[in-house]
Amino acid sequence: MRGRRAFVFGLDCASPELWFARWREELPVISALCAEGTYGPLHSVHPPITIPAWAAMLTGCDPGQLGLYGFRGRRSRQARTATLHDATDLEVPTLWDLLGRDGRESIVVGFPPSYPPRPLRGHLVSGMLTPPGADDWTFPASLRDEVAGWVGSDRGYAFDAEAHRGPDPGQLRDEVFEMTRTRFDVVRRLVRSRPWDFGFVHEIGLDRLQHAYWGSLASPDSAESEILRDYHRLLDAEIGETLELLPDDAIVCVVSDHGARPFEGSFRLNEWLRRQAELWLGDDAGELDAVEVAERLRRHDFLRVLLTILGVVDFGMNIQEGLDAPRFHHQWLPDLIAHEHFGFSPDTRALLQAKGHSFNERKSQGQAQGIVYDAKADLLEGGHDKRAPDSAAIGH
């Protein structure tokens, strides 16, 4: 007799604002799960991007431990260009790998990155990064023809919406809706026909539609906003139909990797620094002699500024804590991580050394002063770098 089972519905780019508030009354399945269980916003990883976020969730490792920071990465220390990640870049066991070691069966559909499929105790259909024309997208391999037979359309099983970068909203809507219905149909067929203890399905459709139509939410009566509303209803119905096949005591999770928000502009740090004559590029450097280049490099190590900003913005430090935190520096060449004492924990250092990194501990990795302006309180908060005892933070 099987033990208690669990199923995870992974909805890419699901916004708590829409699921828990704006359209909750129109989503009876999600509303019931919220009423009967526990719900709330999740904090994503840094960076909050599909590949590292889902990989972190299903392995328990953060992006730094995984070496996954986006859709692309360098395959070796010598690689000059980035390539699209695939399952060979995931070097740690997933949840279903660990369950398999304990004799448990899993159904996995769409996990990114899962192409090329790795053997597991169970059944797997690869996800959105499956290359066009690939024919090895299931485990076991024999499952491919079975899935193709279930789909039965000229287009075949869709891993992603081909029109998600295109201008035609009608085409994108049709592709995404058909893709989602097909994917959940495959999931339900596997649930009915295969032994399983753990199930996972990843659906990318919400991400594709919201990238295209998020701005339309400001106009609730627009055609694009209605497409998003209808798609949320579709997902709710597909989840509900799948839940009917699960045991009453099954553990059910509906989760997402990141949310959504409008794109309101960008700040190009390098361009700003160049305009301030604090950064020079290849052609600019030709106007400087070697002594001036060396002097500028001595004065300007922008990573210490960036690390201080990250400490305050992303990790909740005050400006003094951000300045006091140990610093490190790394650039492409020389390929060496310079760091202050206590800059890396022993386990983090060991993980980086296993990936081929070398270290050089320094007494100080540059000096900086900082001032933070609290607009709400109309207050300036200054921080003094203890590495420079004779300096101070001065503002007005």
115, 86 contact by CB (below 8 A)? yes
- Which of 117-121, 320-324, 328-332 ranks highest by mean pLDDT? 117-121
Q: For 363, what's the count of Cα atoms within 13 Å in the CB-facing half-sphere?
A: 3
Mean pLDDT (whole number) for 12-19: 96
Confidence of residue 243 (pLDDT cuts 50, 70, 90): very high
374-385 tens-digit pLDDT? 888 888 899 988
Domain 269-383, CATH homologous superfamily name and number: Gamma-glutamyltranspeptidase, small (S) subunit (3.60.20.40)
In the chain, ranges of CATH 3.60.20.40 domains: 269-383
Query: Which residue would you say has higher pLDDT here, 70 or 367?
Result: 70
Query: Which residue would you say has higher pLDDT here, 246 or 218?
Result: 246
| Alpha-carbon span 353 to 357, nearest angstrom | 5
185-231 tens-digit pLDDT? 999 999 999 999 999 999 999 999 999 999 888 888 898 999 999 99
Q: What is the pTM of this model?
A: 0.77
361, 355 contact by CB (below 8 A)? no
- 6-255 placed in CATH 3.40.630.10: no
In the chain, ranges of CATH 3.40.720.10 domains: 6-255
**pLDDT at position 282, please?**
61
**pLDDT at position 299, please?**
57
**pLDDT at position 395, please?**
63
Query: Which residue would you say has higher pLDDT here, 276 or 293?
Result: 276
**pLDDT at position 295, please?**
57
pLDDT at 236 over 90: yes
pLDDT at 394 over 90: no
Confidence of residue 294 (pLDDT cuts 50, 70, 90): low
124-159 tens-digit pLDDT? 999 999 999 999 999 999 999 999 999 987 678 999
Mean pLDDT (whole number) for 274-289: 65
Query: Which residue would you say has higher pLDDT here, 391 or 349?
Result: 349
pLDDT at 76 over 80: no
**pLDDT at position 291, please?**
59
